[in-house]
Structure 1
Amino acid sequence: MYASAVQNSVKSGKWINSTCKMCLHSCSVRVHVTDEGVVNKVEGNPTNPSNESGICPKGNSSLLRLYDPQRIKTPMKRTNPRKGPDDDPGWVPISWEEALDTVGRELKKTFEDDPRKLLPAINDFQKIYLWAWPAAFGGNANYFSVVGTQCGGGYHPMNGFIHSTFAAGNDTSYCNYWINNGGGDGFSSHLHMAGAARHMARARVDRGMHLVTVEPRLSISAAKSDEWVPIRPATDRHFALGLCHVLINEKLYDEAFLKKDTNAVYLVGPDGFFVRNEEGNIYVWDSVDNKAKLWNDETIKDYALEGEYEVEGVKASPAFQLFKDNISKCTPEKISQVTTVPAETIQRIAREFAKAASIGSSIKIDGKTLPFRPAAYNYYRGAQGHKTGSMTNHSFKLVNFLVGNIDTPGGHVGVTLDDFMIDRGHIWEGDCGQIKTTPHQLHPEVPFAYPPNTAHLMDYFPLGVDPGHLITQTFFDQKKWGMDFKPDTMLICHSNPLWNLNGPQEKYFDIMRNMRFIVAIDILLNESTQWADIVLPTLDNLERWNMVMIEPPLTEGQCLTQPAIEPLWDCKSEEEIFNEISERIGILDQWNEIQNYANMFFEKPELMLKPGKKYSDKEIAERKGKMWNDKDLDWYIEKGHSSTMRRPDKFYRPWEGQRIHFYIEDILTRKKELQENMKKANVPFYDIWEWDDYQAIPNAVLDPVHKEPEEYDMYAITFKDVQVNFGENLSIPWISDIVYKDPVHMGILINTLAAKKRGISDGDLIKVTSNYGTIMGLARVTEGMHVETVGVSNALSRWTGYHAVVKPAGGHYNRLLPADLKNTCANSGQMETAAKVKVELFRKNPNDDKIVESEIKNYRYARK
């Protein structure tokens, strides 16, 4: 293919196969290096079906990150002891020996004192095994960051419950009716956007796929849809339950799928648990013989989905009946009052969705006949990022369950994070014919402990992801939370916790000031690394080795990153840095052992890292390639990747012969265990824990955000587009050139009627205030916002001082959000990401950049 290709460069040189790292995903690229050794072009590798020939604006501009003159070029240490968001650290360059010795010495002090005193913030997704390094540090399980404001706090555990996967998406190859709710898949963000956009375009052009987008903003997805459905923020769960109500009450559901492939037929007792016999086997009701039978009884003639029966001396109903009862009041009319979506719209979309699903149809793929359900409900952070994160995600899944499209061609399919080996499955056998649930996709469960062993209370989230924001509670009130340690050391690696954590900014500043020692590992300075005592510079992606597979929705296989040029500056790989730090602390052997588990090397013992040796980024990359297909590094250097379209047997109904979880009893089981553990240990905060978040089937309770004081009469949301999604890229001139010329990103979006009511015109300086904080920006008046909602791009806010290209803005959206238990899902750890706010005119059209900059600078850190 390359032999006949036209070289896309005016200079002679060579093309190198590699992988982009401008977001958390893994698009294959070709890097052009001139004869002088200069990277002058990065483009998509057409041989990888994951992104085909495309990359997004971030990928195209990645060479500017390599050559950024403000890269950290050598280790540095702080000379100014005063720490604050505007304080100059007084950086001075130092040698690697001095830097590593200092870091090793200070971390060893913490390790010998109490390993729990280390606060790690490690967020390099393409080298996700680095996240496991704290486990080698005395089993440290702290996490000074969050998943919820970035992506899917409730989303990932629910995918683990339903598909035993990390993510999920709609099957672009066959889907004919697609609902996008609060996500930009196929247009602006989320899974492998460069390839997803092509898949989406083909589906719409070639098959005429119908697209409905449900969200408060006229996003790129909404603008290109057949229909945009504006919705009040934090009511997406109710919209989904309204669809379910129509599907159930008009009997538009896939009865055969629910009976054969799900646990919707399992009988549930009054305590919420399945009714079992003495051996622990679950009962169902045979509607023909009119009697209870065990789930695996071969004489079952037909399963009851509805009704109430007496079994083992208790009243019991199928799980499907419980869900029907739960949403009995979720009529389109009632749901319309909550969501502002017209009742007739809810009813019509439900009917269209069911019709497009073609319930009962089939398709033959690779000689195998499969159910064909070409309609699917897709969603992501904007829709699910709310206090009731578990129930919200479950509600979306149940829309798909009802039409029988889970993991079917054209339906809603699970997406694995990394299969590690080409023949390794992701489904395991569970209890009573059900698949094993795997809610922990990022790290193993943190065991219960009291006093807590984590600074963010992860000891009490047996099914959740890390709610790092809760450190704002424990750090300042140790007695209330029973803390017998207080963090005093921080390690930041490719992370910006001050930026991604929600809640009270001034508390995060105080936490940073209270650290005895902070080390930061990164390529550029940011709002958080500015607080470090030592900064260690890493190689750019175009200077290093890596092997990665991150959530490709339609494909599988590993992608190689290889150096395009020799390192420009005095930088090291992350592997070398962690090896050197580990050796100085005395935990190198523990680190190697942790890497064996994080990378699954133990499944091929010949690849395992051995004690007493430091392994380079190249050696780790080679082992990961061999894990997948036994090919050596030279094979990957030539090919660039091993990506292929996902094998149908791993993609479509990989759980065939087992049942998937319509009703998630595991949630109640773990709740009961946690309650028993907390009572036994006399945990003082037992009574304030949000126990109602543990539900095996969702209900229509309102999120607390809707109950804020009446003065906050509007909602605020934040949104992301591809050029700034999953990465801080405004320091790249090509990206900032896109963003700073787009009023959507450089202002606060407000509906025309809402603006008029408040005397606000386009270009006015406005304040947006929640019960927790204030931000400021220029009003951008538009018809493309829900009338009750203001929208804040995640490109709007940056603090000045750390990079010459980045312009100042009026505060950080996350300051509008709470950071407490009341607004955190006790099951999943998902925090609320929408806010109730009041919007006020601050200054009529200033028409002067200097005035705007001066005014908003005063609000960068303001609480109110």
Structure 2
Amino acid sequence: MKIKRRDFLKLTAMAGAAVAVNGYAQSEPEMNSLAPLGADRTSSPEIGEWKPTTCQGCTTWCPAEVFVQEGRAVKVRGNRYSKQNDGTVCPRGHLSLQQVYDPDRIKQPMKRTNPEKGRGVDPKFVPISWDEALNTIADKMMALREAEEPEKFCLMRGRYTYLRDIIYDVMPKVFGSPNNISHSSTCAEAEKFGAFYTEGYWDYRDYDISNSKYILIWGCDPVASNRMVPATIRRLGDALDRATVATVDPRLTTSAAKANEWLPLQPGTDGALALGIAHVLLSSGAWNKEFVGDFADGTNLFKVGATVDEASFIEKETNGVVRWWNLAVKDMTAAKAAEICGIPEDQIVRVAKGLGEAAPNVAVWMGPGAAMQARGAYSAMAVHALGGLLGSIDNEGGSLQTAKIPVNKLNADLLGKHQDELAKKHSKLEKIDQRGRLELPVIAKGKSGGGVSTNNAAKGILNKDPNEIKVLVGYMNNFPFSCNGTDLWEEALSSVPFTVHLTTNASEFTVFADIVLPCTVNMYERYGFVKTKANRYATCTLLQPVVKPFWDVIDDESAFPFLISEKLKDRGFSNLYDCLVEMYSDPETGAKATTPEEFTLFALKYYTHPLWDGKKDTHGDKINGWSEMLEKGMWNSGAYKYKSHWGGKFATTTKKFEFYSETLKKALAGHAEKHNVDVDTVMEKSNYTARGELAFVPHYEPPLRHGSEQEYPFVFIDYKSRLNREGRSQNSPWYYEFKHVDPGDVGHQDSLRIHPTDAKKLGISNGDKVKITSMGGSGECVARVWEGVRPGTVSKAYGQGHWAYGRTATDDFMKSATKGVNNNTIIPWELERLSGSNARNGGHAAVRIEKI
């Protein structure tokens, strides 16, 4: 992000004013990274040190470095050794400084003294010692063991490092609970669904835009979010000089503003547009024959409305292209797609022909906007199938999987060794999110109930189904703010008898907690590691404590389970302690941990050991020992090899790229058999319209709308700001100061973008206060009259509207007064049931707008 001199002067003036008002310069100068060093000192690099760590402001997870002077973090950049982000970071990395030095951080353990729970209810927290806090938690957990109901313990995970295994897997399973609930389905599980049931890859993709001749960005803004931000910022300008860029999104994103084509489709109609493009590619003969194959006699039989004999086509790397045509594509002409999605027919044809001409060097970049919909699984498949038609899957300039990152895994045998009979039995009971039920297949990776449905956990908790949750531990999460249907989460959390929140800052989740434990800030104060990829390289990158924690805080994923294991051992249950110290001994010395600090370090060394012990070829950076790993802070793989999965190596049922998904057919049939029904019944219960063979191919599903067009005439569009650090930057003054970096947004306000034609009809002018209402809830924000949003839709950045956070994010914490409105209050509760995902896009959130 380039900052103009005028903006920089405003920023420094604002920081100085904050110091003057709050007195930090006099009382706590070390808490302000911008505070002057003193008259006899300088900020020159000679008296500082760059220390490696990792930015977790989004799931790009960039290797980073922090410049530290006299114990203070003062500047951020990318890790100089990184091939993933070229040694750069985006604005999120710089915003992190205001998180570690946030004066509103939780500074010591606290306990609730008001038994009443609910929004607007003062918990009346009082400070307590660590010993009291841990003893209280251990007593509550032991009560469950003694009552032989350990399944009533629940661990809820938000963002994580890969030390997550300790708190997320080992602790609940050894204790005896099945209820480890991840936040993953709030992110992009429906997006992964599209890739898995076509190419057998359940993960985010890498995109080789350095070699693309056509980049089709669909439902995301890669320079702002979607998992390879710095690499894209660096490359998009060059790509525009060499390639055609088209963007499919109802709002004018940064990428769309730079693109050659903007396709502002009607929300939720992504599947129709994708099939319309596929129809043009097939009927014009523009599919990639090296990957897909061709008709036996070379004559193109893909004609409008015509059924084609499957035997007439000889496929190479794919399965079922003709059957897909017959079932879903043959009648979806560009003209029909145009009627459904609101994009001109000639533009659909032009984009399709451009893609065909550029193939196979085409990146069809699928984001959550195309998938995180109530019926988004098939939209995701349809968009990803275009890459298959173009031969760009696993190919130069296209979408790629990832190189292997050879780290150690959780030792499942050791875990099982330390489970007693109660734990073995109860850890296999049904989970609180009800995944795998008839109406909620969650067929992640081909298995019924194989994924997670985070947002459905609220219903499970509230209804005590399949069991009551009596002890709930959450870390790095804030589900009553980050999941749509916020009122349901507030009610559910109010019903839990005992809740623990491990967090850096008080938030909406914290308000429902009985014990609050202060934690380290990722990137600055803790150890951990993450695995990521971008720009053809996979990386393992470390988080390290580059500064000493200011408060008496702990690492949530490692120190907390170790400390609890000690308390449980004192009470006669030593299984967890024994498991942890045996599983995570120091790989260099064999030493067993005696403190939480030792335990954390040993665990980190255990997982990353293969990368730095020098015994095996890691097919990447050669690192000689643990000290060098700490010094560099990361490991790079070799460059990903194109066509790694061609030749029958895709992880699908047919080992090929599947237009007709035998993999999905098998998964749906397995789920149906589990419940003694047929697949059509599964589709009906999952809110899908497809019946028969259509359920096994990418196809168009009409949007599922909450609210009539007459009462709620507009469609609400949620998007992620390039300044959102996983939704945790709203207490940072810089977030509001520089909010104008998002197209159409305005600093220091919660902006609702509305098209001028719609604003005129409603008598709304730019800057007017407006009320937005859906079937889920309502709130107030400020109108931003702007051409960069499709008529009939309104858009707003996720993140504002906190009713419980810090002094910057919340208008009045004690009164639950907000600055703006939370998008997830507006978006009604809903799920994408095949994947378990939150449904936050795709037009199901219908709203009305009223001038206040």
Superposition TM-score, scaled by structure 2 size: 0.79
Q: Distance in 2 between matches of 1:676 and 1:611?
A: 47
Kindly indicate whether residue 161 of structure 2 is the aligned counterpart of residue 126 of structure 1.
yes
Kept after mapping to 1: 8 A contact 2:395/2:642:
no
Aligned to 2:303: none
Kindly indicate whether residue 235 of structure 2 is the aligned counterpart of residue 199 of structure 1.
yes
What letter corresponds to residue 341 of structure 1 in structure 2?
I
Task: Tell me the percent identity.
Answer: 24
Secondary structure at 1:784 match in 2? coil
Aligned to 1:675: 672
What letter corresponds to residue 743 of structure 1 in structure 2?
V
Find the partner of 2:495 among 485, 493, 514.
Answer: 514
List aligned pairs for 1:341-490, cutoff 5 A: 341-357=343-359, 373-415=360-402, 419-421=405-407, 453-460=430-437, 461=441, 463-464=443-444, 465-477=451-463, 483-490=465-472
Q: Distance in 1 between matches of 2:64 and 2:54?
A: 5
Counting matched residue pairs gives 734
**How far apart are 1:829 and its partner, in Å?**
4.0
Aligned to 1:560: 542
What does the per-residue CA deviation read over 1:724-760, in whole Å, with 9 as the maximum and x for residues that have no partner?
Answer: 1523111122223223894276211100001111111
What letter corresponds to residue 348 of structure 2 in structure 1?
I
What does the per-residue CA deviation read over 1:269-295, in whole Å, with 9 as the maximum and x for residues that have no partner?
Answer: xxxxxxxxxxxxxxx97659xxxxxxx
Kept after mapping to 1: 8 A contact 2:206/2:536:
no
C-alpha change, 1:688 and 1:401, in structure 2 (3 Å) is closer
Q: Distance in 1 between matches of 2:683 and 2:790?
A: 39
What letter corresponds to residue 520 of structure 1 in structure 2?
H
Kindly indicate whether residue 50 of structure 2 is the aligned counterpart of residue 15 of structure 1.
yes
Kept after mapping to 2: 8 A contact 1:389/1:825:
no
Kindly indicate whether residue 622 of structure 2 is the aligned counterpart of residue 619 of structure 1.
no
Aligned to 1:279: none
Kindly indicate whether residue 201 of structure 2 is the aligned counterpart of residue 164 of structure 1.
yes
Q: Distance in 1 between matches of 2:430 and 2:58?
A: 32
Find the partner of 1:779 among 778, 783, 787.
Answer: 783
Kindly indicate whether residue 470 of structure 2 is the aligned counterpart of residue 500 of structure 1.
no
Find the partner of 2:514 among 533, 540, 560.
Answer: 533
Aligned to 1:547: 529
What does the per-residue CA deviation read over 1:453-485, in whole Å, with 9 as the maximum and x for residues that have no partner?
Answer: 12221133351332222244444556xxxx352
Kept after mapping to 2: 8 A contact 1:145/1:469:
no
Structural RMSD (CA): 3.7
What letter corresponds to residue 173 of structure 1 in structure 2?
S
C-alpha change, 1:638 and 1:688, in structure 2 (3 Å) is closer
What letter corresponds to residue 643 of structure 1 in structure 2?
N
C-alpha change, 1:255 and 1:494, in structure 2 (3 Å) is same
List aligned pairs for 1:176-195, cutoff 5 A: 176-185=213-222, 187-195=223-231
C-alpha change, 1:69 and 1:388, in structure 2 (3 Å) is same
Q: Distance in 1 between matches of 2:704 and 2:590?
A: 48
C-alpha change, 1:415 and 1:752, in structure 2 (3 Å) is farther
Secondary structure at 1:167 match in 2? coil
Q: Distance in 2 between matches of 1:618 and 1:154?
A: 35
What letter corresponds to residue 762 of structure 2 in structure 1?
R
Kept after mapping to 2: 8 A contact 1:588/1:612:
no
Secondary structure at 1:399 match in 2? helix
**How far apart are 1:691 and its partner, in Å?**
6.6
**How far apart are 1:761 and its partner, in Å?**
1.3
**How far apart are 1:452 and its partner, in Å?**
7.2
What does the per-residue CA deviation read over 1:754-805, in whole Å, with 9 as the maximum and x for residues that have no partner?
Answer: 1111111112222222223223211110001100100011133222564345
Aligned to 2:91: 57
Secondary structure at 1:154 match in 2? helix
What letter corresponds to residue 374 of structure 1 in structure 2?
N
Secondary structure at 1:622 match in 2? helix
C-alpha change, 1:92 and 1:216, in structure 2 (3 Å) is same
Q: Distance in 2 between matches of 1:333 and 1:173?
A: 33
**How far apart are 1:199 and its partner, in Å?**
2.7
**How far apart are 1:95 and its partner, in Å?**
1.3
Q: Distance in 1 between matches of 2:457 and 2:591?
A: 34
Kept after mapping to 1: 8 A contact 2:85/2:535:
no
Q: Distance in 2 between matches of 1:651 and 1:608?
A: 38
C-alpha change, 1:320 and 1:650, in structure 2 (3 Å) is closer
Secondary structure at 2:718 match in 1? strand
Find the partner of 2:658 among 661, 682, 692.
Answer: 661
Kindly indicate whether residue 647 of structure 2 is the aligned counterpart of residue 643 of structure 1.
no
Aligned to 1:37: 71
C-alpha change, 1:805 and 1:759, in structure 2 (3 Å) is closer
C-alpha change, 1:609 and 1:389, in structure 2 (3 Å) is farther
C-alpha change, 1:837 and 1:595, in structure 2 (3 Å) is farther
Kept after mapping to 2: 8 A contact 1:715/1:790:
yes
Secondary structure at 2:226 match in 1? coil
**How far apart are 1:419 and its partner, in Å?**
2.8
Aligned to 1:717: 717
Q: Give 5+ residue unaligned stretches, structure 1.
A: 1-6, 261-283, 289-301, 307-316, 358-372, 425-446, 844-864
**How far apart are 1:818 and its partner, in Å?**
3.2
Q: Distance in 1 between matches of 2:390 and 2:580?
A: 42
Secondary structure at 2:396 match in 1? coil
**How far apart are 1:709 and its partner, in Å?**
5.2
Q: Distance in 1 between matches of 2:551 and 2:668?
A: 52
List aligned pairs for 1:578-617, cutoff 5 A: 578-585=561-568, 589=575, 616-617=599-600
**How far apart are 1:54 and its partner, in Å?**
1.5
Secondary structure at 1:257 match in 2? coil
Aligned to 1:754: 758
Aligned to 2:413: none
Secondary structure at 1:47 match in 2? coil
**How far apart are 1:612 and its partner, in Å?**
10
What letter corresponds to residue 66 of structure 2 in structure 1?
V
Q: Distance in 1 between matches of 2:150 and 2:193?
A: 28
Aligned to 1:852: none
Kindly indicate whether residue 107 of structure 2 is the aligned counterpart of residue 70 of structure 1.
no
What letter corresponds to residue 469 of structure 1 in structure 2?
N
Kindly indicate whether residue 767 of structure 2 is the aligned counterpart of residue 732 of structure 1.
no
Secondary structure at 2:657 match in 1? coil
Secondary structure at 1:71 match in 2? coil
C-alpha change, 1:466 and 1:553, in structure 2 (3 Å) is farther
C-alpha change, 1:691 and 1:82, in structure 2 (3 Å) is same
Aligned to 1:849: none
What letter corresponds to residue 582 of structure 1 in structure 2?
S
What letter corresponds to residue 616 of structure 1 in structure 2?
F
Q: Distance in 1 between matches of 2:473 and 2:78?
A: 34
Aligned to 1:860: none
Kindly indicate whether residue 156 of structure 2 is the aligned counterpart of residue 116 of structure 1.
no
Q: Distance in 2 between matches of 1:389 and 1:401?
A: 19
Aligned to 1:862: none
Kindly indicate whether residue 845 of structure 2 is the aligned counterpart of residue 824 of structure 1.
no
Kindly indicate whether residue 565 of structure 2 is the aligned counterpart of residue 572 of structure 1.
no
Aligned to 1:47: 81
**How far apart are 1:400 and its partner, in Å?**
0.8
Kept after mapping to 2: 8 A contact 1:172/1:410:
yes
What does the per-residue CA deviation read over 1:498-519, in whole Å, with 9 as the maximum and x for residues that have no partner?
Answer: 011112x333222111111000
Q: Distance in 2 between matches of 1:303 and 1:650?
A: 17
**How far apart are 1:582 and its partner, in Å?**
3.2
What letter corresponds to residue 495 of structure 2 in structure 1?
N
Kept after mapping to 2: 8 A contact 1:323/1:697:
no
What letter corresponds to residue 254 of structure 2 in structure 1?
I
Answer with 517-526 or 454-463: which moved more. Answer: 454-463
Secondary structure at 1:131 match in 2? helix
Q: Distance in 2 between matches of 1:244 and 1:758?
A: 39
**How far apart are 1:166 and its partner, in Å?**
0.9
Q: Distance in 2 between matches of 1:772 and 1:79?
A: 32
**How far apart are 1:652 and its partner, in Å?**
7.2
Aligned to 1:298: none
**How far apart are 1:122 and its partner, in Å?**
0.9
C-alpha change, 1:687 and 1:244, in structure 2 (3 Å) is closer
Superposition TM-score, scaled by structure 1 size: 0.78
